[in-house]
Amino acid sequence: MLCTLAHTRKLAVPGEGPAPAPVMLIGEGPGRNEDEQGRPFVGASGKFLEELLAAAGLQRAQVYITNVVKCRPPENRDPLPAEVAACAGYLERQIELVDPRVIVTLGRFSMARWFPVERISAIHGQARQFGARLVVPMFHPAAALHQPKIRPQLLEDFAKLPQLIAQAAPATPRSAANVGGSTDQQLDLF
Ligand code: URA
């Protein structure tokens, strides 16, 4: 046991999908439904995530889906820095094994691994190269469930995925494109 979330969770939710996979999606942490089933993104935000993937011409079974923390924080509170740190080794190993060309961070907790100081409202949808991988920060699907204006932004960002997957083919380095965007501070909560 690496942190105390193991005391309150029902099931650990390690992640699921093929390995290797071209795309890895990284959310925040399991919610109630995920905790019950031991699978990531199976509740309302999972349903919307599947719609978003469809907008990119992708099926859930084609991508690897995981979270920053693998156990549900009580009452769905934000994961604490110590919990994120305790689980970081699992995520790093998953990235090695899944070896995705494109990593999509969903929400600010997974974004912080690659973009520790940026704001999601400013950089969502803008891919940046990290070694062999492109990392694309996106809003968390749950954000669109309570802030409708995020929905079209997420759809637009997901629609970029096919091209990003093609661009991120091995041995095809590309230059960063990550300036601009809106500066709505409220959206940075996600
Ligand atoms: N929200 C997340 O961040 N991850 C899940 O698995 C479900 C909801």
Task: Give me ligand 1 centre to Cα 43, in Å.
Answer: 8
Q: What is the pLDDT of residues 89-145, one digit of tens each?
A: 999 999 999 999 999 999 999 999 999 999 999 999 999 999 999 999 999 999 999
pLDDT given for residue 41 in this prediction:
98
Q: What are phi and psi of 54, to 5 degrees?
A: -60, -35
For position 145, what pLDDT does the model report? 94
Q: Does 178 reside within a domain?
A: no
Residue 188 lies in a domain: no
Which secondary structure element, helix H or strand E, spans residue 137, and what is its range?
strand 133-138
Site to substitute for ligand 1 among 41, 60, 65, 71, most atoms within 8 A of C-beta: 41
- Residue 172: its pLDDT value, please? 40
pLDDT at 190: 54
Residue 164 has a pLDDT of 97
Instruction: Assess if residue 73 is contained within a domain.
Output: yes
Which tokens belong to 20?
A: 């290797």
Q: Which of 9, 35, 45, 60 to mutate to test the pocket of ligand 1 (most atoms within 8 A of CB)?
A: 45
Within a domain: residue 113?
A: yes
- For residue 20, whether the previous peptide bond is cis, meaning omega lies within 30 degrees of 0, is yes
Q: How many folded domains does the chain comprise? A: 1
pLDDT digits (tens, 9 = 90+) for 137-190: 999 999 999 999 999 999 999 999 999 999 987 644 444 443 343 335 555 655
Domain containing residue 70: CATH number = 3.40.470.10
Distance CA(130)–CA(123), nearest Å, equals: 15
Asked if the structure places residue 179 within a domain, the reply is no
Tens digit of pLDDT for each residue in 49-66? 999 999 999 999 999 999
- What global pTM score does this model have? 0.90
Return the pLDDT at 186: 52
Per-residue confidence (pLDDT) for residue 187, from 0 to 100: 55
Q: Does 190 reside within a domain?
A: no
Q: What pLDDT was estimated at residue 188?
A: 61
**In sequence order, which ranges of the chain are alpha helices (DSSP H)?**
5-8, 32-37, 44-55, 81-98, 108-114, 120-123, 141-146, 150-159, 161-167
**Domain coverage including residue 120:** 5-167
> 67 pLDDT band (50/70/90 cuts)?
very high
Ligand 1 cavity residues, CB under 6 Å:
27-31, 34, 40-41, 45, 67, 142
Confidence band for 3, pLDDT divided at 50, 70 and 90: very high
180: in domain? no
Specify if 183 maps to a domain.
no
